[in-house]
Amino acid sequence: MQTRWLMPGTFLALAVSLTACTSSSQDELQTWMQTERNSIRPSVKPIPEPTKFVPQAYEGERLLPPFSNEKLASVLRGSQSVPVANAKLIEPELARRKQPLEAYPLDIMKMVGSLNRDGQLVALVKVDSLLYQVRPGNYLGQNYGRVTRISETEVVMREIVQDSSGEWTERPAALQLQEDVTK
């Protein structure tokens, strides 16, 4: 087996010839890149001048809040389409002070029992984890529900609600006695 070694001069000549080829193509590439960079000009639109902010004075404090009872009553009084009898249903409800059980919907209230206090039935109503005593004349729920009668098994009330035409009407409602099934 014969081994052939390259002479050191041959290797040097080969390396110089290869670098000569790459340096000329490298120069061409650099020249082309510079030409392309010079030919492309970005078009940037200048940022417009900001508009001057002119503060306005707030004049809404003299107006009625949009969800206040006074606004609802004024709309009911001023509306010609609502009969006087229907407006008389809601006006006393808007003028009185709200009771604690009017903050909750009837759906989450449970009648859990009743007591006989001085010959009058008192219903025990549970909301969340609190227990309330309810008597006839108390208000329940978010639809102006006034308790009219209490029996051992239910609390009967009348609610004032708006129908689809926007008129106020009375409707009956009741809370039934619910037994605790978790025992």
**pLDDT of 118:** 87
Total structural domains within the chain: 1
For residue 108, being part of any structural domain is answered with yes
d(CA 99, CA 138): 8
Count the alpha carbons within 13 Å of 161 in the hemisphere toward its beta carbon: 12
Tabulate helix, strand, coil % of the chain (nearest 5). Answer: 35, 25, 40
Residue 167 belongs to some domain of the structure:
yes
Is residue 117 in a domain? yes
pTM above the 0.85 mark?
no
CATH number of residue 146's parent domain: 2.30.30.830
CA distance 132 to 123: 8
Q: With respect to residue 5, please indicate whether it lies within any of the assigned structural domains.
A: no
Predicted local distance difference test score (pLDDT) of residue 22 = 56
pLDDT digits (tens, 9 = 90+) for 78-103: 654 445 556 677 777 778 899 999 99
Instruction: Let me know if residue 69 belongs to a domain.
Output: no
Evaluate whether residue 58 is within a structural domain.
no
Tens digits of residue pLDDT in 111-159: 999 999 888 999 999 998 899 999 999 999 998 999 999 999 999 999 9
Give per-residue pLDDT as tens, 151-162: 999 999 999 888
In this prediction, residue 164 has a pLDDT band, given cuts at 50, 70 and 90, of confident
Q: How confident is the model at residue 59 (pLDDT cuts 50, 70, 90)?
A: confident
What does the pLDDT average to over 38-46?
84
Asked if residue 53 is part of any domain, the answer here is: no
The domain in which residue 159 lies consists of 99-176
Which DSSP helix (H) or strand (E) runs through 25?
A: helix 8-39
123 assigned to some structural domain: yes
